[in-house]
Amino acid sequence: MIRPPETTEYLPYYQKYVSLVQGGDLIPALEKQLASTAPFLRGISEEKSLYRYAPDKWSIKEVLGHVTDGERVFSYRAMRFGRNDQKPLAGFEQDGYVAAAGSDARPWSELIEEFEHVRRASILLFRGFSGDAVNRSGVASEANVSVRALGYIIAGHELHHMAIVRERYL
């Protein structure tokens, strides 16, 4: 069981994500998201996936690409710190990643499939951590963060962006 992190285990910025995750165990939360988000995304057409609710906003494809990239980055950090690697990790600039990813040129079905595979890999990663490993921490983006906090950030980040898609794009 991976319980929610204490607020001292991550930057205050991430509270908006961590607070969205319901329940007291990370793995079921990640699994539930996969079971609900993938079918939700499949219900969006290729044409609609290119929609932007304002000219300067990401398309739905870019939002999903961002969620997937973010999950990869946060999982990588969790893997490093869970394996007791104490080397500080740099941050990442989300807008630069989105621009470089070229998500709008990719098939929508492929972006969904990629999200599903990345999420399954994250679930297996977190399932494999021992109790000691999930409580380890390291420095990323010049701030201390625990392994379990990274898991909750992954889950909350996805919830945050899927709520935006539902509210502003559809």
What integer is the mean pLDDT of 110-125? 98
Reading phi first (left if > 0) and then psi (alpha if -120 to 50, else beta), residue 141 is in left
Query: Would you state the pLDDT for residue 30?
Result: 98
pLDDT tens string 22-75: 999 999 999 999 999 999 999 999 999 999 999 999 999 999 999 999 999 999
Q: What is the CATH number of domain 25-169?
A: 1.20.120.450
Q: Provide the whole-model pTM.
A: 0.97
Query: Would you state the pLDDT for residue 36?
Result: 98
CA 127 and chain centroid, separation: 16
Q: From CA 87, how far away is CA 108, in angstroms rounded?
A: 36
How many helices (H) and strands (E) in the chain?
A: 7, 2
Query: Would you state the pLDDT for residue 125?
Result: 98
pLDDT tens string 79-116: 999 999 999 999 999 999 999 999 999 999 999 999 99
Query: Would you state the pLDDT for residue 20?
Result: 98
- For 100, other C-beta atoms within 10 Å of its C-beta total 10
Tell me the C-alpha to C-alpha distance, in Å, between residue 27 and each of 16, 19, 123, 155, 162.
19, 16, 6, 10, 19
Q: What are the residue ranges spanned by the domains of the chain?
A: 25-169
